[in-house]
Structure 1
Amino acid sequence: MQHYRDDFPILGREVYHRPLVYLDNAATTQKPRCVVEAMTAQYYETNANVHRGVHFLSQRATDLHEGAREAVRRFINARSTAEIVFTRGTTESLNLVASSFGEGFLKAGDEVILSTMEHHSNIVPWQLLRERKGIVLKVIPMDDRGVLDLDAYRALFTDRTRLVSCCHVSNVLGTINPVAEMARIAHDAGAYFLVDGAQSVPHFPVDVQALNCDFLVFSGHKIYGPTGIGVLYGKEALLDKMPPYQGGGEMIARVTFERTTYERLPFKFEAGTPDYVGTHGLAAALDYVSAIGMERIAAHEDDLTRHCMERLSCEIEGIRLFGEAPAKTSVVAFNVGHLHPMDLGTLLDRLGIAIRTGHHCAQPLMARCGVEGMARASFALYNTREEVDTFVDALRRVVRMF
């Protein structure tokens, strides 16, 4: 995958007079030249508001925007573009479901199941809904390897369980959860299933029909696309029954002061001017990774993950690795002895190596692991074994300082 690095100009820069080693991809990925150029070209050549204009630029911008919707549909194998709603990212997609599904389908005493390893964006919206409507939240436990306890999961269901919302891949542990099996269990109990795909869609093929999930959410900026654009996939029949999330232009069919009727899917959930340049950038990113091949990307990142964990476990005295599930990818979280992870991150940064430190927006998971925070290295298609070796060697040097 080495030659793809040339597509990412930022990887050629230096940090503190050292070559940049960027290992913070779970937070956001760098952008290939083709994505930036596609967005620049649209601003310079085809910038006009979409859907409502009859003039040439508006028609062309609309074609690009709706073409992006088709690109997303194809990428995750949805049945129809009516099932693809554009949002600002995973967080807004989750808030949309919590608000709209919560309003239309949940009442006091109804249950939503989450997992121990959820990102705050898949916890807080449900807590807000609990405060508004009196729903009950239940949590799937995990073992010390970072594997969800499916027997305990089955035992959580009652006749009041309405929805399960679970990450496909943990942003901290890298655990790949068996969401297809979990969705089947939920459906057998009469509940719906939402997949947080923020850390899966960028790393391996995701097919919503094969998973048979009711919702899936992900962000563009984690799959080499622009910030501020994301996707909510929902089964058409379910989205059709849900009330609008926001009101305004674009999401209406007809407005009078007495009554408003709403537009068809997916526009019912897309109030106001969309980020039509962002959707074009997202389409360019999806085309880019599709041309490389998601299976190929997955194999490369799995190799980097294994290589990193093997070297760390063998060569760094006092290291504690978090997340050793049999099914794991792209993320290596760790602490070393009594060293604060922020100190590790700060010193590695001075050596040109970018990692993430802190609670990673997963404080309940930190509590389960008995720590306040962790250091995290995470990989993308452009990372190399040589960069992993540089990182491990630098970490060994930093640890020796103490």
Structure 2
Amino acid sequence: MTRLSTYLAKVFAADAAALFAVAVFLLFLIQCLRTFSVVSVKGQGLLTLVGQALLTLPSLGVVFLYVCVGIGLARGLRALQGSQELHIIHSSQRLPALLMAIGGYTGICTLIVLLLSNFVEPATNRQFNDWSASIAADLVGRTLTPNRFAEVVPGVTMLIGERAANGELTDFFADDNRNREMRRTYVAKSATVAADDQGYVLQLRDGAIQYMSDDRRFSEVAFARYDVALERLTGPAEAREVLSETNSFELVAGALATGIWDQDTVRHLAKRMSEGVRVLAICLFVAAIAAFPHGRRGRREIPLELVVLGTAFVERGISSNLIPPGPLDPVPGAFLLAALSLIVLVVRLRAFAPVAQAAPA
């Protein structure tokens, strides 16, 4: 890259980094408010609150980063337009340097997004789920007092008879009425908190699960042993998704080793790679509409930031509602935006291409 290209790329990156820093800080505050139950209900400290909020940032950051990248590029080009530097770049036939700067900026941002979506996000998902499971186990261990009803979390009440020296719980009882459509009651002669490859579980022995529907219908299932995830009793009953906790390198290596490319694995890989396509598409769009000078003065214009943000919403809407068959289903909107932007960019490049002067006779 030339010195001009490096300078322009730094201008674009500075605007994008400043905007992304503000967005990450706001997301961090929102996540702290959303996960405040770990302090108010689950009895954890502020360090746990901050740690869990930080672990959710990569997943949210991937969603917002490509928008910040597009807005940063738009702001940089608008600043060049306002200072007449964009006119000078075109009139002095330095358009290749400008395109090289945009290309380098787009490439680096794409690599950062792919690194986050393919490696950082799965690692933080795994750490977050492991931490949540340990919080659930700690909550049950601290809350349960023999022969006393304890509300572990709002809507879940537990009771134990005795606590043996080896950690075994006798005369276990748990009532989960968080779901209005189906109330569950667990009764067992003994219970033990254990850990498996999916996290912490409560191993119930010689008991029954009783169901009460919203229309007062009752059913009961007896068991000799039943394992229930602690997170099911202390938090949202959501099963851990192993694929979301596995980085792309491990997914590809596992598929190559077994020779089986199942649909879920391909979909996860395509979804992660689609974030890089979105960065490319949004940068092509901004370059097509803002990389060329104009002589409009004194006229009100729609801010480029709103244009980029609106385009990102439209792209997300198309990708969510227009789902073609095949592995590219997460990004039809991004491919459509990239194709249209590329056409506009090529047309404008031909229009703004410098005309070669005829040689003197």
Q: TM-score range by the shorter chain?
A: under 0.3
Richer in helix (by share)? 2
Q: TM-score, normalised by structure 2?
A: 0.26
Q: TM-score, normalised by structure 1?
A: 0.24
